């Protein structure tokens, strides 16, 4: 498990974190009934934050900024000698979190998109993880 904190990449504080570290952070926050704000950051988001002060402020105030894009991971590894072997891809993390939440009986909630898309997501996740509680 890797979660060694935040490092500055073009003014954006990106976490040196792998899937296991991110999962543990989110599950611990859920068990402690503590909020957590997370973004899976690829290069586009990093550059937007570097060029837009308001977006930079938003990103730098998140609980975790995941190195979603390979170039973001490469930057952490090159600039800070981070030991990251892979990026932390948001859609994969969502599935890993749902699997763990189903195993531990923790509810999940999805926000955004359209009712039709959200219902499709619920249906697919319930097929994949029958014990998943979706609030």
User: What number is the average pLDDT over the span 39-46?
Assistant: 97
Domain limits, the chain? 3-128
pLDDT 10s digits, 91-105: 999 999 999 999 999
Report the Cα–Cα distance between both ends of the chain, in Å, rounded: 29
Contact 52, 1 (CB under 8 A): no
Q: Which residues have a Cβ under 8 Å from the Cβ of 62 and sit 6 or more positions away?
A: 37, 38, 39
Smallest CA-to-CA distance from 21 within 74, 57, 67 is with: 67
Chain mean pLDDT for the chain: 97
């Amino acid at each position: 498990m890797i979660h060694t904190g935040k490092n500055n990449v073009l003014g954006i504080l990106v976490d040196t974190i792998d899937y296991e570290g991110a999962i543990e952070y989110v599950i611990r926050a859920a068990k402690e009934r503590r909020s957590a704000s997370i973004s899976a950051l690829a290069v586009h988001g990093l550059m937007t934050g570097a060029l837009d002060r308001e977006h930079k402020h938003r990103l730098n105030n998140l609980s975790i900024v995941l190195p979603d894009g390979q170039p973001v991971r490469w930057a952490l590894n090159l600039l800070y000698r981070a030991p990251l072997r892979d990026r932390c891809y948001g859609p994969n993390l969502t599935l890993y979190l749902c699997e763990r939440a189903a195993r531990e009986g923790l509810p999940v909630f999805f926000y955004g998109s359209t009712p039709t898309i959200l219902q499709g997501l619920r249906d697919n996740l319930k097929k994949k993880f029958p014990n998943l509680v979706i609030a």
